[in-house]
Structure 1
Amino acid sequence: VKNPRSVMMGNLFAGTDEAPGSLVTIQGRKYKQYRGMGSLGVMSSGISSDRYFQKKEIGKTKFVPEGVEGVTPYVGPVQEVIYQMIGGLKSAMGYTGSATIHEMHTRTRFIKITQAGYLESHPHNITITDEAPNYRI
Structure 2
Amino acid sequence: SVMIGSLVAGTEESPGETIIFNGRKFKSYRGMGSLEAMENGSKDRYFQGGEIDVKKLVPEGIAARVPYKGTLYEVIYQLSGGLRAGMGYCGAANIEKLHNAKFVRITNAGVMESHPHDVTITSESPNYSRSE
TM-score band (shorter)?
0.7 to 0.9
Name the counterpart of 1:79: 73
Q: Which residue of 2 aligns with 1:26?
A: 21
State the secondary structure of the residue aligned to 1:21.
coil
> Is residue 2:89 matched to residue 1:95?
yes
Within 1, Cα distance between the matches of 2:101 and 2:6? 28
CA drift of 1:18 comes to: 0.2
Contact 1:38 1:48 in 2 (8 A): no
Counterpart-to-counterpart distance in 1, 2:5 and 2:104: 23
Gap regions ≥5 residues in structure 1 = 1-5
Cα deviation, residue 63, structure 1: 2.1
SS across alignment from 1:106:
coil
- TM-score, normalised by the number of residues in structure 2: 0.84
Q: How does 1:46-85 map to 2 (within 5 A)?
A: 47-51=41-45, 53=46, 55=48, 57-85=51-79
Deviation, 1:101, is 1.4
Aligned equivalents of 2:55, 2:108: Cα separation in 1: 38
Extract unaligned runs of 5+ from structure 2: none
Instruction: Report the TM-score when normalising by structure 1.
Output: 0.81
CA distance in 1, matches of 2:101, 2:117: 30
Letter in 2 for 1:128: I
Q: Which runs of structure 1 show a deviation greater than 4 angstroms over 4 or more consecutive aligned residues?
A: 48-51
Identity of aligned residues (%): 52
